[in-house]
A and B are shown apart, each in its own frame.
Chain A
């Protein structure tokens, strides 16, 4: 996902007008930048403009980059400032500093577990059913469509975190830095998002033990 080149090599390339270096950087970073921008502004088109403005500021301002932070942090800070200004105009902001109401409570339906007065309180009423290994291309395509729908239905912050971590493959440290959130809050958001996506996949993938067929088609 991210070019293995060092910041120094990338910065030198951009400063000296090496178009291949800049094109690679655009390709590597723009997806997560769009995603992050989208949490501050109200449309995809606005997010695209924010990312475009950010890159223009980078092109013009790269000589002022002093290497006190990583290049990514520097670029993302420009992005967040640009996006916030625009987000204020569009009256849209996602608070990142603390967890929200939908970031608390159980991630698995409590009805699936035995009640407090049961000898095995908190144990599964019945075990989650196994998922088949879906090798088939058609099934894999349907699974992807389900996953995409499940991601789209997540609260903003959970959607951004799971997309940065699991879809785009950023490390936990990178995500905390980009979003300026703590490791603990990042894990809460990631956990809730993964549990929600798993919950959407489960009824679709579970095998019916009696027929061996999926319960939902």
Chain B
């Protein structure tokens, strides 16, 4: 099979990280990675992006709604 281009490589990054590529494609992906500093940088930046996303705080229910629900829980399940 033909070698991967950089343009092919960047579209396979997530499937690679998720372990969803077949064996042959993994081999071609890793061969390309070993030879291409640009794609090595791209892969590490995609990993860094994913890990930095984990630092973003996400809003939960308002304190008022939480209090309403806890009080409903006490009323019903008591």
Chain A residues engaging chain B, CB cutoff 8 angstroms: 14-17, 19, 22-23, 26-27, 30-31, 34-35, 48, 51-52, 55-56, 59-60, 62, 106-108, 110, 113, 121-124, 126-131, 140, 143-144, 147-148, 151, 162-163, 166-169, 172, 183-184, 187, 190-191, 194-195, 197-198, 201-202
Q: Which residues of B contact A60 (CB under 8 A)?
A: 76
Chain B residues engaging chain A, CB cutoff 8 angstroms: 5-8, 10-11, 13-15, 18, 20, 36-39, 41-42, 45-46, 48-56, 58-62, 65-66, 68-70, 72-74, 76-78
| CA of A147 to CA of B53, assembled, Å | 7
Q: Which residues of B contact A30 (CB under 8 A)?
A: 60-61, 66
| CA of A113 to CA of B9, assembled, Å | 12
Contact between A59 and B72, CB atoms less than 8 A apart: yes
- B interface secondary structure, majority: helix
- Contact status of A128 and B58, CB under 8 A, knowing A56-B72, A190-B14: no
Contact between B73 and A19, CB atoms less than 8 A apart: yes
**Residue of B10, B45, B56 touching A151 (CB-CB under 8 A):** B56
Contact between B14 and A187, CB atoms less than 8 A apart: yes
Contact between A26 and B61, CB atoms less than 8 A apart: yes
Contact between B45 and A198, CB atoms less than 8 A apart: yes
Q: A26-B66, A52-B69, A106-B11 are in contact. List 18 more A-B contacts (CB 8 A).
A: A14-B77, A30-B60, A51-B61, A52-B65, A59-B73, A107-B10, A108-B42, A123-B38, A124-B39, A127-B37, A128-B42, A131-B48, A143-B52, A166-B53, A167-B53, A184-B20, A190-B14, A202-B45
- Contact status of A110 and B7, CB under 8 A, knowing A17-B78, A130-B41, A198-B45: yes
B5 to chain A, nearest CB (A): 3
| CA of A52 to CA of B50, assembled, Å | 30
Interface centre among A19, A129, A195 (most CB of B within 10 A): A195
**Residue of B49, B61, B62 touching A201 (CB-CB under 8 A):** B49
A149 to chain B, nearest CB (A): 11
Provide 24 A-B residue pairs closer than 8 Å at the C-beta atoms, listed in order of the A residue.
A17-B74, A19-B70, A26-B61, A26-B66, A30-B61, A51-B61, A55-B72, A59-B73, A62-B77, A107-B10, A122-B5, A124-B36, A124-B39, A131-B45, A143-B52, A147-B52, A147-B56, A183-B20, A187-B18, A187-B20, A190-B14, A194-B53, A195-B10, A201-B49
Interface centre among B14, B42, B49, B50 (most CB of A within 10 A): B49
Q: Which residues of B contact A34 (CB under 8 A)?
A: 59-61
- Contact status of A195 and B18, CB under 8 A, knowing A19-B74, A31-B60, A59-B73: no
Q: Which residues of B contact A195 (CB under 8 A)?
A: 10, 13, 46
Contact between B69 and A55, CB atoms less than 8 A apart: yes
| CA of A197 to CA of B48, assembled, Å | 11
